Amino acid sequence: MTEMIIKTENLHKTYATGKVTTAALRGVSLEIPRGSFSCIIGPSGHGKSTLMHLIGGLDRPTVGRVLVDGTDISLLSSSRLAELRAGKIGFVFQFFNLLQNLTAEENVETAMMFSGIPEKAQPVRARELLSLVGLAEKFRAKPSELSGGQQQRVAIARALANDPEILLMDEPTGNLDSAAEGEVLEILFQLHRQGKTVVIVTHNNEIARQAGGVIEIRDGRVVAA
Ligand SMILES: Nc1ncnc2c1ncn2[C@@H]1O[C@H](COP(=O)(O)OP(=O)(O)O)[C@@H](O)[C@H]1O
Ligand SMILES: [Mg+2]
């Protein structure tokens, strides 16, 4: 067990779109302790989402390495990487990313496909998770029948489907009013107290104040740790 559950070494990411290249990350080295509640802050367009995608293995760096629990994920094949991601990492995004034609319960179940949870047990587990985020009454609701805060709580339940050790959240409260934001934050703090490592990109100063570590990103670099 490594003390640092996530490590990045000299991460660079350059996007090429036609003739335009964008250096989104320019040498990011950081460490995130196991069980911490870490916050990533910085202006829009400065590389925060890119960093989250690389940490979570959703995209690969142009240069540099990402170590998750001591494993250099750049050395993994796509299928091994998908396996590691499914087992260890839960993602929550700003725009919920729920499947609109599925119920809350079915949305959570979609994340159990590679989990090894027997198919018969999946609805029970999905309902447990939805209860955990305060949606016991909404198993059968479609996303369009839920508020923004409720949809984000479904997304959190989905991220928890495989009981991942790491939760990566990219502006999870960016589209919520302050009441819904408070509810979502309470769930995140609770998950942290239960031992999850939480990494959250946010513009909310209150979260940053309560976080164990704050990493500031500017122009694709870490400016304060
Ligand atoms: N898939 C992509 N293709 C091309 N450019 C991208 C892509 N994703 C992000 N960028 C660019 O990289 C920079 C950093 O973006 P991003 O990581 O999304 O920043 P943030 O999350 O801090 O707002 C921006 O200039 C953005 O336009
Ligand atoms: Mg972003």
Q: pLDDT tens across 88-114, in order?
A: 999 998 888 999 999 999 999 999 977
Strand intervals (E) in 18-56: 20-33, 37-41
Residues forming a β-bridge with 40:
201, 215
- Percent of the chain past pLDDT 90, that is, above it, reads 76
| Atom of ligand 1 minimally distant from the CA of 53 | 17
Which position has the token pair 């034609």? 101
Angstrom distance (rounded) from CA 199 to CA 223: 17
Give the count of alpha carbons within 13 A of 175, CB side only. 15
Please work out whether the CB of residue 15 comes within 6 Å of at least one atom of ligand 1.
yes
Q: Hey, which of 17, 22, 171, 200 would you mutate to test ligand 1's pocket, going by the most ligand atoms within 8 Å of its Cβ?
A: 22
Query: Does residue 182 have a pLDDT over 80?
Result: yes
User: Which pLDDT does position 216 carry in this prediction?
Assistant: 95
Residue 124 backbone zone (phi > 0: left; psi -120 to 50: alpha; other: beta): alpha
Please work out whether the CB of residue 44 comes within 6 Å of at least one atom of ligand 1.
yes
Please work out whether the CB of residue 14 comes within 6 Å of at least one atom of ligand 1.
no
Residues forming a β-bridge with 16:
21
Q: How many Å from the N-terminal Cα to the C-terminal Cα in the chain? A: 23
Q: Write the residue with the smallest CA distance to atom 18 of ligand 1.
A: 49
Residue 224's pLDDT band (cuts 50, 70, 90): low
- Output DSSP code: residue 145: G
| Atom of ligand 1 minimally distant from the CA of 44 | 23
Please work out whether the CB of residue 36 comes within 6 Å of at least one atom of ligand 1.
no
- Domains of the chain (ranges; CATH) run 34-60+76-224 (3.40.50.300)
Residue 57's pLDDT band (cuts 50, 70, 90): very high
Q: pTM of the predicted model, to two decimals?
A: 0.93
User: Which pLDDT does position 223 carry in this prediction?
Assistant: 93
Please work out whether the CB of residue 53 comes within 6 Å of at least one atom of ligand 1.
no
Angstrom distance (rounded) from CA 66 to CA 12: 11
Q: What angle do the packed helices 122-132 and 148-159 form, to 10 degrees?
A: 130
Residue 2's pLDDT band (cuts 50, 70, 90): low
Give one DSSP letter per residue of 72-139, joined into a string. EGGGS-HHHHHHHHHHHEEEE-TT----TTS-HHHHHHHTTTTS---GGGHHHHHHHHHHHTT-TT-T
What is the CA(201)–ligand 2 centre distance, in A? 8
Ligand number nearest CA of 94 is 2
Residue 16's pLDDT band (cuts 50, 70, 90): very high
- Close Cβ partners of 187 (under 8 Å, ≥ 6 residues apart): 132, 133, 134, 153, 156
What is the CA(22)–ligand 1 centre distance, in A? 8
Of 57-66, 88-97, 143-152, least confident by mean pLDDT is: 88-97
